[in-house]
Amino acid sequence: EEEKKVEEEEEEEGWHQLYPGHIPTSPLQKVLLAAGSAVMALYDPYRHDMVAVLGETTGCLALPNLRDKMKHHPEGYRILQERPRIRLSTLDMSRLRGLPDGSLGREYVRFLEDNKVSPDTRMPPKFVDDEELAYVIQRYREVHDLMHTLLGMPTNMLGEVVVKWFEAVQTGLPMCVLGAALGPVRLSARKLQVLATELVPWAIRSGLNASCVLNVYYEERWEQPVESLREELGIFPPP
């Protein structure tokens, strides 16, 4: 009865929860959330929760564009229909560890273990007011570590900035653009030089040249060599 009451109140106010965890927000609330999360994310780029909020509150143009790219691609369309998730509960880690060196699955697990990261730390979406677009940003988050694997980049600040440049060009998400542009401020002069002369030009060229990385059903590609998938997508070999 209590739940019914809440639902009725929500309907009267003109909003309701579109998916588990969804928090409906007005345009003004989104602007305030975006501003606050941007400040916090710049202060501490490792505050993944703030980076996530920023992505959701500023992605109103980029997310529909990404969804359309997926809808018009056979593999991307199937992903939208079947809604696969990359979580420890859906991954057969021992099988992936047993794959040959150089395969996507083996290198992905190696990346997770070497950098002590887990796909389960990705935040579920809360502020996207469309259930399908919420899945698109969820998918983007869950394939982020696969981008590191494909691009051969570690999770340190230099690696994150390079991946953000690639993702910014690929997705057009303002959060990626902001991270790509402002992430380097914390790097040393030597790293900045390598970034500016080699890594960023390569990431931008690869991002522009590659087909949409959300259109790959990675769960069906674990056995594929990383180099072959790079070639298929149009990512140039890392410098």
pLDDT tens per residue across span 7-61 = 544 444 445 678 888 888 788 877 777 777 777 766 676 566 777 777 666 777 8
pLDDT tens per residue across span 188-229 = 899 999 999 999 999 999 999 999 999 999 999 999 999 999
Q: How far apart are CA 145 and CA 103, in angstroms?
A: 15
3-class SS of residue 103: strand
- Per the prediction, the chain carries an average pLDDT of 87
Residue 1 has a pLDDT of: 58
Asked which of 150-154, 160-164, 174-178, 189-193 is least confident by mean pLDDT, the reply is 174-178
Question: Position of tokens 């690696």?
Answer: 159
**Number of C-beta neighbours around residue 234 at 10 A:** 13
Residue 41 has a pLDDT of: 67
Q: Which residues pair with 225 in a beta bridge?
A: 103
Q: How far apart are CA 100 and CA 32, in angstroms?
A: 48
Residue 144: which of 114, 126, 170 has the closest Cα? 170
Residue 9 has a pLDDT of: 47
3-class SS of residue 225: strand
- Cβ burial of 192 (10 Å; 0-12, 13-18, 19+) is middle
Task: Name, in order, each residue with C-beta under 8 angstroms of 131's C-beta and a sequence gap of 6 or more.
Answer: 18, 19, 22
Task: Name, in order, each residue with C-beta under 8 angstroms of 80's C-beta and a sequence gap of 6 or more.
Answer: 67, 70, 71, 132, 135, 136
Indicate the DSSP class of residue 124. Answer: P
Residue 11 has a pLDDT of: 46
Domain boundaries of the chain, sorted by first residue: 27-233
Q: How far apart are CA 140 and CA 107, in angstroms?
A: 19
Q: How far apart are CA 132 and CA 9, in angstroms?
A: 25
pLDDT tens per residue across span 158-170 = 999 999 999 999 9
- Cβ burial of 189 (10 Å; 0-12, 13-18, 19+) is exposed
Instruction: Please say whether the beta carbons of 214 and 143 come within 8 A.
Output: yes
